[in-house]
Amino acid sequence: MKSLWSDQDARTAEARLPNSLGPLVAQRLYTAHLIGSDASLVLHGGGNVSVKASGKNFLGEELEAIYVKASGTDLSHLSSEGLTSLDLQRLRKMRQIESLTDDQLRDAYSLCCLNANAATPSIETLLHAFLQHRFVDHSHADAVLTLTNQLDGHALIKEALGDSVGIIEYIRPGLSLATAVANLCDSQPDLVGVVLMKHGLVTFGPDAQSSYEAHIDIVDRCETFIRQRTKGKSLSVNFTCEQKPDDIVAKIAPTVRGLLSTKSDKIDQLFVRPILEWRHAPEIMQFVNSDRAKVLASASPLTGDHVIRTKSRALFCDVRDWSDIPAAITTITQAIETFRSDYKKYVQEYSPDVVQEDGYPKVMLLPGVGVLCWGDTKLSAGIAADIAEQTLRVKTYASLMGSYEGLTDEHLADMEFRTLQRRKLSDAPRRTLAGQVVAISGGAGAIGVATARCCLEAGAHVALADLNQEALDRAVKHLLAMQREGRVLAVRMDVTDEQSVCDGYAEIVRTFGGVDVIVPNAGVAHVAPIESLDVQQFRRVMDINATGYLTFMQAGIRILKQQGLGGNIIINASKNVFGPGKDFGAYSASKAAGHQLGKVAAIELAPLGIRVNMINADAVFGDQETPSGLWQEVGPQRAKLRDMRSEDLPEYYRSKNLLGAKVTGEHVGRTVVFFASNATPTTGATLPIDGGVVEAFPR
C-alpha cells in the first residue's frame, strides 16, 4: 500500500472549503477521503477520523474543540457537515469516569456537542478525544485484521511491526477502550500507532499528512509480511460442478427468498421479503469451493463493526450436487433451520432482552454458486456483500498463514445488539412496497415508466422488461435520476418468445432474488375495420397483447409459487374491454383476451394467496419524455377517423369522460401500487382509470 498524499491536492482541498472552517478541517477531510476511497482500509461507514481545532459554543465563546466523524457516515464522502464538533475539555474529563452504559455515553456526547442539532458522533469519539495528537485516523484495514485475527495474532503483529506500534487486546469500543489506548500512548509517547486486536488500527500525528502516512506505512508493513508468509500458497479447491452458477441461482433463489421471508406485523404487507445480492468473482468461487470453506465461513466475522450488517455468522450450505435441485433445496432448507435455531440460542444466551427481528442469515455461501447476501434493500444486501467479500479475502490469507480466530460470541452479541450500533441502521418506516419486486412488461413505454416511478416511490424494486433497448436505456436513465440505490433493472425481453421471457425472469431473479408483483403491460394496436383487417396484423396484435400477457404471467407465476409468499398480478387491460370502438377490433379482442386470462388466473391462483386484478385505462398519451408508443402508432389514424389533428386527441378524450379528466400513466401506476399493497382483499376485479366512461362501466 502506498501513500496517495499530494501537496497539490491538499492545497486544492483547503481552497475549496470556506475560510471560516479553517485549513485544519480541510486537511482532515482530504485524508479522510484518501482512507475512505480504499476498500481494503474501510467499508461502508466503517472507520473514523478526527481533528482538534478551535470551536465556538452557543454563546460565541471560543474553546478547544474536536471535530469527529459522525456515526455511520462514509469516509469517502465525508463533508464538513459529516464532522460533529464537541467540547474537547468536557470529553477529556470523562477519563475520570469508571464505566458508562451506551445510553449514558450517548447522552454525554449530546451534552458535549457544540451544535444542538449535530449528528451523533462516532462511537469511538472518546478514543479520539483522549489522545493528545491533533489528528487521529482509525480504520479496519484488511492486512491488520489478517494478522490480529489469528490464534497467535499478538506475536504476529509484534513480529511484523516491531515496538513502534502498540497493541491493545480486544475491548469493546467506548470508554474502556479509549482509556486503555490513551494510557498506552501516554506511557509510550514514541508510538506511531496502536493495533486494536480483532478490531483495527489507530494512528495519529500533529498534522493530517503524518497521521495518514503512519497509517499507510503500518498497513504496508503488514501487507508485506503477509505476502512473504503466504508466498506460493493458495486454498486447495475440492469442489467442481458442471452446472453454471447463473442457472443454479435462477433456480434456487426464489425458494430461498421464500424461506428467508417472515410474516409482517403490518396487515397489508403480509411478508417482510429480503432482496438478493449475488457475488461470484473468481476469488469468491475459489473460497467457497475450497476444503476450508465450511470451517472458515462459520467462523466469526473480522470485526464487531460488521455484525449489524452481516449477523454474527455466515451460513455455509454444504450442497455437493447441483444436478438434483430438489435435494439441494432440502439441504439448504435444513441449513437455514439449523442456523435459525442456533441464532435464537445465541440471542437468548447473550442478549435475552433483545427483540429479534428475524433469525435468518444475511450471508450464505454455497459451493459452485458463490455468496448470496440478503438485505431489506438492494443497497443493504450490497453492503453485506461487500463486507462478505472482504471477510473471505482476509480469512483466506489468515488461514494460509496459520489459524483464523475471530471474536467470541459474547463480544459479537455485544456489538450486534448495542444501541449505539443499531442506530447506524435506518429506522425509517417501511414504505408500502418495501421489499417487493415489481416486473413490468412494456416497461419502457409511457405507462411502464410511470408505473415504475410510482412503485419506486412506494419503496419497491422494479424490473422493466421491454423489447426496445433504446427505450429501455432512456427509461433507466430517467428513473436513475430519482434514485441511485440499485432498485431499477432493465431487461430486454420479447414477450412473444417463451425462452426470452424465461431468460428475462432469470435475470430478475439473479438481481433481486425473486418477484412479487407482475404487471403485463406490453401492447401494440392496429387500426382497421374487421372486414378488411389484415390477418397477419391481427395475429401480431394477438401475439403481443394476448399471448404476451400469458407468457409474462405464466413465467412469473412459477416464481411466485416457488417463493410461497402470495403476490399480485395486475393486468393493464383497457377501457375497450367493456367499451370497444370501431376499427379497433384487433386491439379490443386482444385486451379482452388478456382481461379474461386475468379473471381465470384469479380463480386458479387464489388458493396460493396470489391476487389478480385488472386496470381498464383509457387514452394514456404519455408525455414529452416518454411518449406513448401505442398512440404514436395509431394516433394519426384515430385522429383522421374523427376528422381532427393528432395533437388534439388528448383534449378530445379528456372532454369525453364524465370527470373531464386527463388520464396519465401515473394514474395507472398509482393503481398498481394500490393493488400491490394488498390494502383490500380484492381479486378478479377491474378498476377503470378513465375519468368515467359510461359505456365502459364494468359489468
Lateral strand order in the sheet of 363-366: 275-279, 370-375, 363-366, 315-316
Nearest in space to 448 (alpha carbons), one of 477, 475, 486, 485: 475
C-alpha 256/C-alpha 254 separation (Å) is 5
Which residue reads 379528456 in cell numbers? 654
In sequence order, the β-bridge partners of residue 54 are 64
Minimum CB–partner distance for residue 426 and Zn ion (Å):
20
C-alpha 170/C-alpha 564 separation (Å) is 44
Minimum CB–partner distance for residue 367 and Zn ion (Å):
32
228 vs 408, beta carbon nearer Zn ion: 408
129 vs 663, beta carbon nearer Zn ion: 129
Minimum CB–partner distance for residue 260 and Zn ion (Å):
29
Minimum CB–partner distance for residue 150 and Zn ion (Å):
19
**One symbol per residue from 188 to 217: x for binding Zn ion (CB under 5 A), - otherwise; what is it?**
------------x-----------------
Minimum CB–partner distance for residue 199 and Zn ion (Å):
6
C-alpha 440/C-alpha 520 separation (Å) is 6
Residue type, 277: E
C-alpha 297/C-alpha 313 separation (Å) is 8
Minimum CB–partner distance for residue 257 and Zn ion (Å):
32
Residue type, 192: V
Q: Is the dihedral of CA 547, 549, 555, 557 positive or negative?
A: negative
137 vs 376, beta carbon nearer Zn ion: 137
121 vs 200, beta carbon nearer Zn ion: 200
Q: Any residues with CB less than 8 A from the CB of 35 and at least 6 apart, and which?
A: 41, 42, 47, 49, 75, 137, 139, 212, 215
Minimum CB–partner distance for residue 514 and Zn ion (Å):
35
Helix axis angle for 649-656 and 629-641, nearest 10°, is: 80
17 vs 49, beta carbon nearer Zn ion: 49
71 vs 572, beta carbon nearer Zn ion: 71
123 vs 332, beta carbon nearer Zn ion: 123
613: enclosing H helix or E strand: strand 610-617
Minimum CB–partner distance for residue 625 and Zn ion (Å):
46
35: enclosing H helix or E strand: helix 22-36
Residue sitting closest to Zn ion (CB): 200
Minimum CB–partner distance for residue 304 and Zn ion (Å):
8
Minimum CB–partner distance for residue 422 and Zn ion (Å):
16
Minimum CB–partner distance for residue 293 and Zn ion (Å):
27
**Strands 461-466 and 370-375: what pairing?**
unpaired
100 vs 661, beta carbon nearer Zn ion: 100
Minimum CB–partner distance for residue 148 and Zn ion (Å):
12
User: To 5 degrees, how large is the angle CA 671–CA 674–CA 679?
Assistant: 155
In sequence order, the β-bridge partners of residue 277 are 373
- Three-class SS of 306-344: HHHHHCCCCEECCCCCCCCHHHHHHHHHHHHHHHHHHHH
Minimum CB–partner distance for residue 173 and Zn ion (Å):
6
Which residue reads 450442497 in cell numbers? 319
198 vs 667, beta carbon nearer Zn ion: 198
Minimum CB–partner distance for residue 127 and Zn ion (Å):
9
C-alpha 523/C-alpha 548 separation (Å) is 8
200 vs 459, beta carbon nearer Zn ion: 200
211 vs 664, beta carbon nearer Zn ion: 211
C-alpha 91/C-alpha 110 separation (Å) is 11
Contact 698, 575 (CB under 8 A): no
304 vs 629, beta carbon nearer Zn ion: 304
**Strands 83-87 and 62-69: what pairing?**
antiparallel
Dig out the grid coordinates for 23 from the structure: 485549513
128 vs 667, beta carbon nearer Zn ion: 128
Residues near Zn ion (CB under 5 A), total:
1
Dig out the grid coordinates for 152 from the structure: 497467535
Lateral strand order in the sheet of 461-466: 488-492, 461-466, 437-441, 517-519, 567-572, 610-617, 686-689
177 vs 365, beta carbon nearer Zn ion: 177
Which residues make up the interface to Zn ion (CB under 5 A)? 200
